[in-house]
Amino acid sequence: MTRRYDLQVHTDASPCSSASPDRVAAAAADAGLDGIAVTDHDTLANVDAVRDAAPDDLDVVPAVEVTTTEGHLLALDVAEAPPQTDPLTVVDHVHEQGGVAVLSHPFDTLRQYYETDLDALADAVDGVEAVNSRCVRSRFNERAAAFAAAHDLAVTGGSDAHFPMEVGRAYTSVEGDGALADAVRDGCVRPSGRGRYLTGHVATKFHQFRTATSRAVTSLTSGGFLRR
Ligand SMILES: [Zn+2]
Ligand SMILES: [Zn+2]
C-alpha cells in the first residue's frame, strides 16, 4: 500500500502564513492526502489544533521547520522544538527524541541554504527534501536529489504550503502502513508532485496587497472620510 503525505505544511503559527489550522486540515482532506507534517518555523504551537480539526483518517505528524545557523531542517515526529543552532546539534536533538531529520530545500540559494560540512550533514541526517514546491528554480531541487543519491539518503517531497490552496502540490509517497518516521528511516519514501510552483509566491504578494488595502479602507471609513 502507498500513502501520500505532504511533509512540509505551514499554518498561521508561522509569521509568513495566515492559514488557520481548520483550513489546513480541510485542505489536506480535500487534496486526498493520507497525512501531513505540520512544519511551522521553530514551533509546534498549532499541531494539536490541526489534529483536532483533521478527520480521523488524516495522520498529522508533529514537526518543526528548524532555523539552523545554515539552512532549514525538518524535524519530523518530535515532541519538542529543537534549538535554533548549528545543524549537527539540531540533528542530535531530533534523534534524541526519536524523530527524523530531513534537510529542507537544502540548496535553494534564494532562501536559507547549506554551504559547509555537507559530508558531515549527509552522515547525520535521515533524508533530504528533493521536491519543494516553493523552489522557484528547478535546479535547486535537482541538486538536492543528486546530493541525496550520492549519499544514499531517503528523499521526501512537500508543498511548503503557506496557503491552504497549496497543500498537496508536492508530497511524499510512503510505502507500507507503518509510522511515517520509520518509513523515512527505512528509505520507503519518494517525492512526487510539482517542484516548481510560482503561484504560491504570487499568492503571498496578493495576501500582502489585500491586507494593506483593507487597512487603508478601514482607516478611511473609521476616519469618517467616506461618510462626509
Ligand atoms: Zn524553509
Ligand atoms: Zn517551509
User: Which ligand is in closest contact with the Cα of 8?
Assistant: 2
CB atoms within 10 A of CB 200: 18
CA of 217 to the centre of ligand 1 (A): 33
Neighbours of ion ligand 1 (CB under 5 A): 72, 104
User: Which ligand is in closest contact with the Cα of 73?
Assistant: 1
CA of 170 to the centre of ligand 2 (A): 13
User: Which ligand is in closest contact with the Cα of 39?
Assistant: 2
Where residue 227 falls among pLDDT bands split at 50, 70, 90? very low
User: Which ligand is in closest contact with the Cα of 14?
Assistant: 2
CA of 225 to the centre of ligand 1 (A): 42
CA of 96 to the centre of ligand 2 (A): 23
Q: What is the mean pLDDT of the chain?
A: 91
Question: Among residues of the chain, what percentage have pLDDT more than 90?
Answer: 83
* In contact, 7 and 39? CB cutoff 8 Å: yes
Looking at domain 2-197, its CATH architecture is Alpha-Beta Barrel (3.20)
User: Which ligand is in closest contact with the Cα of 103?
Assistant: 1
Kindly give, in sequence order, each residue whose CB lies less than 8 Å from that of residue 79, ignoring residues fewer than 6 positions away. 44, 62, 97
Round to whole Å and give the CA distance between 159 and 89. 26
The mean per-residue pLDDT over the stretch 23-30 comes to 98
* In contact, 172 and 158? CB cutoff 8 Å: yes
Higher local confidence (pLDDT), 11 or 198: 11
The mean per-residue pLDDT over the stretch 78-103 comes to 98
CA of 165 to the centre of ligand 2 (A): 15
Q: What is the pTM of this model?
A: 0.87
Q: Is the pLDDT of residue 224 over 60?
A: no
CA of 168 to the centre of ligand 2 (A): 14
User: Which ligand is in closest contact with the Cα of 40?
Assistant: 2
Round to whole Å and give the CA distance between 219 and 98. 50
Kindly give, in sequence order, each residue whose CB lies less than 8 Å from that of residue 61, ignoring residues fewer than 6 positions away. 5, 7, 35, 36, 37, 38, 76, 77, 180, 181
CA of 156 to the centre of ligand 1 (A): 14
179-223 pLDDT per residue, tens: 999 999 999 999 998 877 665 666 666 665 666 666 666 555 555
120-175 pLDDT per residue, tens: 999 999 999 999 999 989 999 999 999 999 999 999 999 999 999 999 999 999 99
